[in-house]
Amino acid sequence: IEVYLATSNRNKVREINEILEDIDINGSITVKYIFDEIKEDNFEVEEYGETYVENSVIKAWAYSKLIRKPVFSDDSGLSIISLGGFPGINSARFMENESYEQKMKKLLSMLENKKDRTAYFACAATYFDPEKNILVSCQEEVYGKIAFEIRGNKGFGYDPIFIPDGYDYTFGELGKDIKNKISHRSKAIKSLLLLLKSAKIL
C-alpha cells in the first residue's frame, strides 16, 4: 500500500520509509511525498493546536483536501524539562529563520546553568481517510538528555544534541539503524499501524 504523508518535511518521508521497510501489514507499506505529485507552492497549514496530536490532526485534515485520499501525518518536537517543555510543539517555529545549528546553540546556552538536562522527543502520528471519515491518532515519546555540545551530522533537526537513554551518543552520531529502532517516530508509526491493523482499517 502507498499512503501520502501530510508534511512539507522530506526528512520525515525518508525516515518513515526506513521504519516501514521491516513492517508487513497485508504486504508492504510506503509513504509518499505529496508535493512530488501536486505543485502547490503557497500551501501552508497553520498549526494552531495546543498538543502534538491536535496539530497532527490539523495537518492530516488540511493535506487530505489537496489529494482527497487517506493520509498519514506526523507532528513532533523536542521538549526540555528544565525549560518547562520548551521548545515542544514550537520546535519548528522557534527561531524559524535561523539554521538548526543556531537553534541548537541557543538551546545549549539556555541550559548552561541548569542541572537537569532531561528531554524527550515526542511524535504524534495520525491516519485520516476523508472518504470513510476514519481518524486514528496516537503519540509516543523517547526520553534522553541534552548533550553539552553539538555532536554528529546524521539525522536532521535537533538530532545532534539529543542522547537517548541507554546510549552515550547523540542521534546525530548513532545513525539511522539505531534511531529508527528506538525513536519517538518509529514508536508512533508502529503504534498507529497496530491500531489500524487491529481495527481492520489497513
Cell of 164: 537517548
Least separation in angstroms between CB 22 and ligand ITT:
18
52 is in an annotated binding site: no
Active-site position among 41, 75, 116, 165 = 75
185 is in an annotated binding site: yes
Window 124-153: contact mask with ligand ITT (x via CB under 6 A): ------------------------------
Among 9, 51, 82, 191, binds ligand ITT (CB under 6 A): 9
Cell of 95: 527561531
Q: Is 164 in the site for ligand ITT (CB under 6 A)?
A: no
Cell of 66: 489537496
Residues 167-186 that bind ligand ITT (CB under 6 A): 183, 185
User: Measuring CA to CA, how many Å separate 152 from each of 132, 149, 156, 169, 171?
Assistant: 44, 10, 10, 9, 8
Quote the CA–CA distance of 99 and 63 in Å, as a whole number: 26
116 part of the active site: no
Contact predicate 71/128, CB 8 Å: yes
Residues 60-119 that bind ligand ITT (CB under 6 A): 74-78, 91-92
Strand partners, 142: 121
Least separation in angstroms between CB 189 and ligand ITT:
12
Q: How many CB atoms lie within 10 A of CB 89?
A: 21
Least separation in angstroms between CB 110 and ligand ITT:
16
Taking the mean position of all CA atoms in its chain, how far away is CA 33?
A: 15
Quote the CA–CA distance of 49 and 58 in Å, as a whole number: 8
10 is in an annotated binding site: yes
Size of residue set near ligand ITT by CB under 6 A: 21
Quote the CA–CA distance of 93 and 107 in Å, as a whole number: 14
User: Measuring CA to CA, how many Å separate 104 from each of 5, 162, 167?
Assistant: 27, 10, 20
Residue nearest to ligand ITT (CB): 157
Name the binding residues.
7-12, 46, 75-76, 156-159, 179, 184-185
Which residue ranges make up the site for ligand ITT (CB under 6 A)? 7-9, 12, 47, 59, 74-78, 91-92, 121, 155-159, 183, 185
Name the binding residues for substrate.
7-12, 76, 156-159, 179, 184-185
Known catalytic residues are 75
